[in-house]
Amino acid sequence: MIKFKIDEQEYKLPEFISIENYSKIYKVKDLFSDDYFAAKIVNIVTGAPLEDLLETDYQQVQYLASYLMSLVPLEKPKFIDRFKINGVDYGFFPDWKELTFAEFVDMDTISGKKPDELLDLLHILSAVMYRPIIEEKSEHDYKIEKYNVDSMKERAELFKKELDIKYVLGAQFFFINFVNRFTSYSHLSSIPTLSIWTKIKLTWVMRKWIWAAISKKPMVGSLSSTELLKTILQNTRLYTKAK
């Protein structure tokens, strides 16, 4: 753990950037010059007074800021399906096929927000995606707590201060890439006017048919999976043109 002093007051640098601090940093990253931004980062994360940081050694502030920024994933973060906080194991929802409508709607609503608004909701998004593990057969084969809005809100407040931002960003990339796989399969990716989250919504609606088609299971009803997807695709094209 890195420590530093200003006027005999000791401060500590964290071992990770929390969701709360990530949001604060990215809200101000384009507002200041590089030198001022360096001091502001240290101020946000450690609570050291900004005026004191501006009067302290330049090299020290730059070093502290560089260390903190090294904790922020700048490239595509690695997806990690589980972690532990305060002795509790949390896991990412393990089965896309069992994603409930309530989970989907909450994720869709949050993810559709404008960037500045989304920053304020990342802790809630993470609490939807990660929940306590209640049963496990192995490290990556487990069941998580049933989705509940009340417990989600409590968990979100914990994650806001205690969860490393890398988990949230990695889960977002994983979810979008996973959806892209199926939108590509169902040809929804060929409709450029659809946003990624509209495609996610359509994919969610079709997920049982898609899984059945991928598994090469017989379809129930008069339409084959290919015919169904073509019908949905055609109707979607007409809908987007009408819009």
Residues 6 or more apart from 206 whose CB is under 8 A from it? 186, 228, 229, 232
Task: Give this prediction's pTM.
Answer: 0.72
Per-residue confidence (pLDDT) for residue 134, from 0 to 100 = 96
In which band, very low, low, confident or very high, does the pLDDT at 28 lie, cut at 50, 70 and 90?
Answer: confident
Q: What is the DSSP letter of 78?
A: P
Q: What is the pLDDT of residues 92-122, one digit of tens each?
A: 988 766 778 788 778 777 877 787 888 899 9
Lowest mean pLDDT among 16-30, 126-140, 159-173, 194-208: 194-208
* Average pLDDT of the segment spanning 141-151: 92
**SS3 (DSSP) at 6:** strand
Residue 230 has pLDDT above 70, yes or no: no
Higher pLDDT, 22 or 238: 22
d(CA 161, CA 155): 10
CB of 116 within 8 A of CB of 27?
yes
